[in-house]
Amino acid sequence: MEIKNGMLVGATQVPSENKNERPADEISLIIIHGISLPEGRFGGPHIRELFCNTLDCAQHPEFASLEGAHVSSHLVIDRDGGVEQFVSFQDRAWHAGESSYQGRRNCNDFSVGIELEGTDNTPYTNVQYEVLAEVCRLLSAVYGARDIVGHKDVSPGRKTDPGASFDWVRLRELI
């Protein structure tokens, strides 16, 4: 794996319009998220549709709260280790929302968002940890991103992902 011009070589590129320019040329934080649509169902097109503004929110009752949402992430790592990139690392993806880290607000400005297909209470797969660790090493080498946190850490009380099922010790051992 390598990064060229903000893109992860080998990832499936699925451009999202839910992005804008970073206010500064800084990537110092990696935020790990967990996602499944609907909750607990893996595979399928719904995450991609959400990030590309094509999700039919009438398809499932859980999707109603997503009506009109404009969100994205830089990467999604599926259960089998497949990677889709929605936003260049050089751009600001809309993944963390209202957030703060070490007294700094608007974490999207200086972070990369990585979604793992999963839930707070479903263990993530071995290959997801392996791919995530490799991506984190690359982001550190290329951009200097050193801190890795969960969405729950930058949006406490509002978000819980990647959840209790995420093994932070394992990730750190792999990095």
Arithmetic mean of pLDDT, 96-120: 97
User: Which CATH architecture does the domain made up of 11-35+72-174 adopt?
Assistant: 3-Layer(aba) Sandwich (3.40)
CA dist 174 and 56 (Å) reads 38
Beta bridge partners of 49: none
Give 116-136 pLDDT, tens digit per residue.
Answer: 999 999 999 999 999 999 999
103: CB partners within 8 A, 6+ apart: none
CA dist 137 and 14 (Å) reads 23
Between 140 and 25, the more confident residue is 140
Arithmetic mean of pLDDT, 129-149: 97
Tokens read off for 116 = 């793992």
Tokens read off for 88 = 């260049």
Give 26-57 pLDDT, tens digit per residue.
Answer: 999 999 999 999 999 999 999 999 999 999 99
Q: Which residues have a catalytic role annotated?
A: 115
pLDDT band per the 50, 70, 90 thresholds, residue 81: very high
Quote the radius of gyration of the chain (alpha carbons, Å).
Answer: 15
- Residue ranges covered by each domain of the chain: 11-35+72-174
Whether this prediction's pTM lies above 0.95 is answered by: yes
Strand runs labelled E in 12-155: 12-13, 19-21, 29-35, 75-77, 83-85, 91-93, 100-101, 104-105, 111-117, 147-150
Tally Cβ neighbours within 10 Å of residue 127.
14
At 76 the three-state DSSP class reads strand
